[in-house]
Each structure stands twice: as structure tokens, then as C-alpha cells.
């Protein structure tokens, strides 16, 4: 049962619980009218302490499409946080007004702390460079829908693997399915953090290699997950400028990829995917964004207990 639970990191739910969310998302995609009022009278609070457009709008659209309503703030200066309120007090207060809440915070662990004080389901929509579990639900639903499986896949993750929280969450989640293999493509400075390498990949004997060029491995991949260099998490602009265009996926590189490889990207894209592949049938990033809204509908319906 997911009713009343929080989602703070990808491992909070079992694979069976995830299956239940994906099955419900599929049903919502096929029968949207049946779900248009399941959240009538419910209120979602969006507590965004860090800027976000798509994730916040995706949650808002999801709740509106379920018949519920939305309150919230999209930058901390417009809330009592600027008066010095703690996140624990913010969530306890919001729990008096709303039925479910979603938060994004620049500090790793802040949503976890908030969840310990929350009497309503709380969803982490990104904490610093740490985790982004609803992006992972989005990624998994997309992969499941297109590839028809979440196992036996060679997954290339490319770009900023150090600061990219979507990458950390996706590796964690995909490591729980059988026979997946990772090819980690990044400049040496932006490799995955040691705790992901040791605690998740090595500890569970998951095959992975670290390379520097897309060209060296693109022909082996079932999925190529591109990410932007996370400018806001760099300590100096010089490093960002030096690394920002490390990878640009273009039509020429795509000629070497399998005909059924899919390209994913959590968005926003900066330069890392050239516009010339947007019409390639293997480019899935905008469809992925749509899956994101449906999976958030399914997630909120389950956490609120309005759908079995």
C-alpha cells in the first residue's frame, strides 16, 4: 500500500510497488477521462526552494488533470523561509492546508528531513546533486513503454555524471533489475561520485565501464541518456565554461547507433543534443516529458489512496 507514504529516494518503493504505479500510469494514458475527478477536493502544495519549470509544471498539470487544485511557491524569497523558518516548520504548517506536497531543495537531505515532520505524503522533486526520484519514475516508465522491459539493457549515461542527480537516481533504480550494464561517458572531472561507484555498482556486481567519448560506445547502447552540465553546482565559472560543451550528440554520431537505441534527456537541454536529431524516431526526450506527467498522476493518486 502506498497510501500515506513519502517518496524521497528511488529505493523507497519496491519493484512491485513501482510496477503498480507504472500499470496505473498506463491505464491513465489509455483512459484519461476515468481519472479526471479522482482528486476532486484535494490540494497539492508545491514547495520549490530551487528554481524549476518543468518539474513543477508537470506536477501542477498532473494534479489539475486528476481534478485537484494546487497551491505553493516557486522561489524561497516569496515564502517565510526568507524570515528564517525551518523546513520542518514549513512542512508542518503546509500539512494543515494541503493533502500532499512536493518539494525541491538545493540542500541534499532536506526533503528527507522534512518528511520526518510531515503528516501528509511528501515527494522529493530534487535535492541538490543527490536524488530526483520522480524523474526516475519518468525514465523507467518511458523505458518500459518503449523497450518493453527494464532488464537486459545496456545504458549509456553521458555528460555531468558528478552533479547530475537524475543520473544518480537512475543508476540506483536500474541496478535493481537483472542483467543491466552501464557505460558511463564523462570527462574525468565529471565522473560519477565515489558512493555511487562503490555502494551501488561495485557492491552489487553491476557491470560498468567509464569512457570519455560517445563515439567509442554508441553502437553498443540500447539507451543513451544525455544530461546537461549542471552549471549551478559548479564552484567556478571557468570550469563550467571549459566543460560545458564536452558532448554534443548530432546526426553524424547517431548514424553509428542501433536502429532501436533511444535517446533520453531529463531536460532542459542546453547544447548537448543538436536540434538536427529532434525528428529522428529514436529521439524520445519530449515524449519522455509527457510520460513524466502521467507517472506523477499515478504516483499522487496512489499516495493519496484515491485509486487502488
Is residue 288 at the binding interface for ligand NCD, with CB under 6 A as the rule?
no
Q: Is 233 a catalytic residue?
A: no
CB of 97 to ligand NCD, least distance (A): 25
Near ligand NCD by CB under 6 A: residue from 6, 130, 144, 165: 165
Q: Is 265 a catalytic residue?
A: no
Q: What's the rounded Cα separation, in Å, for the pair 298 and 29? A: 10
Is residue 111 at the binding interface for ligand NCD, with CB under 6 A as the rule?
no
Which residue shows C-alpha cell 526552494?
A: 49
**Beta strands in 52-153, from DSSP E residues, in sequence order:** 69-73, 100-105, 122-127
Which residue shows C-alpha cell 494543515?
A: 96
Q: Is 54 a catalytic residue?
A: yes
Q: What's the rounded Cα separation, in Å, for the pair 123 and 144? A: 22
Which residues is 131 bridged to in the sheet?
A: 127
Near ligand NCD by CB under 6 A: residue from 169, 266, 283, 304: 266
Q: What's the rounded Cα separation, in Å, for the pair 272 and 229? A: 9
Half-sphere exposure of 210 (CA within 13 A, CB side): 17
Of 42 and 112, which CB lies nearer to ligand NCD in the complex structure?
112
Catalytic residue selected from 6, 42, 46, 55: 55
Is residue 103 at the binding interface for ligand NCD, with CB under 6 A as the rule?
no
Is residue 126 at the binding interface for ligand NCD, with CB under 6 A as the rule?
yes
Is residue 166 at the binding interface for ligand NCD, with CB under 6 A as the rule?
yes
CB of 135 to ligand NCD, least distance (A): 5
Strand, coil or helix: what is 105? strand
**Smallest Cα–Cα separation from 175: which of 197, 193, 160, 191?**
197
Q: How is residue 106 written as a grid cell? A: 538545493
Is residue 228 at the binding interface for ligand NCD, with CB under 6 A as the rule?
yes
Of 38 and 185, which CB lies nearer to ligand NCD in the complex structure?
185
Binding residues for ligand NCD (CB under 6 A): 54-55, 126, 132, 135, 165-166, 227-228, 266-267
List, by residue number, the catalytic residues. 54-55, 83, 104, 132
Amino acid at each position: 500500500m502506498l497510501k500515506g507514504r513519502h517518496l524521497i529516494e528511488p529505493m523507497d518503493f519496491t519493484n512491485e510497488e513501482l510496477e503498480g504505479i507504472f500499470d496505473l500510469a498506463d491505464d491513465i494514458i489509455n483512459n484519461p477521462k476515468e481519472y479526471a475527478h479522482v482528486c476532486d477536493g484535494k490540494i497539492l502544495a508545491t514547495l520549490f526552494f530551487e528554481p524549476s519549470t518543468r518539474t513543477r509544471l508537470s506536477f501542477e498539470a498532473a494534479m489539475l488533470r486528476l481534478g485537484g487544485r494546487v497551491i505553493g511557491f516557486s522561489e524561497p524569497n516569496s515564502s517565510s523561509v526568507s524570515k528564517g523558518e525551518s523546513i520542518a516548520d514549513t512542512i508542518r504548517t503546509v500539512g494543515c492546508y494541503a493533502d500532499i506536497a512536493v518539494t525541491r531543495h538545493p540542500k541534499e537531505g532536506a526533503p528527507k528531513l522534512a518528511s520526518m515532520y510531515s503528516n501528509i505524503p511528501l515527494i522529493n522533486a530534487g535535492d541538490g546533486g543527490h536524488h530526483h526520484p520522480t524523474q526516475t519514475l519518468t525514465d523507467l516508465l518511458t523505458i518500459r513503454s518503449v523497450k518493453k522491459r527494464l532488464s537486459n539493457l545496456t545504458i549509456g549515461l553521458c555528460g555531468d555524471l558528478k552533479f547530475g542527480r537524475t543520473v544518480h537516481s537512475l543508476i540506483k533504480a536500474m541496478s535493481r533489475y537483472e542483467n543491466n550494464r552501464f557505460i558511463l561517458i564523462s570527462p574525468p572531472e565529471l565522473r560519477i561520485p565515489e558512493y555511487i561507484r562503490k555502494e551501488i555498482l561495485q557492491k552489487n556486481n553491476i557491470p560498468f565501464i567509464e569512457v570519455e567519448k560517445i563515439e567509442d560506445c554508441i553502437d553498443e547502447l540500447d539507451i543513451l541518456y544525455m544530461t546537461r552540465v549542471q552549471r549551478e553546482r559548479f564552484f567556478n565559472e571557468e570550469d563550467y565554461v571549459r566543460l560545458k560543451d564536452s558532448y554534443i550528440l548530432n546526426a553524424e554520431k547517431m548514424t553509428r547507433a542501433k536502429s532501436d537505441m533511444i535517446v533520453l534527456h531529463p531536460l532542459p537541454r542546453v547544447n548537448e543534443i543538436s536540434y538536427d536529431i529532434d525528428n529522428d524516431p529514436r529521439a524520445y526526450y519530449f515524449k519522455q516529458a509527457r510520460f513524466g506527467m502521467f507517472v506523477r498522476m499515478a504516483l499522487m493518486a496512489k499516495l493519496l489512496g484515491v485509486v487502488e
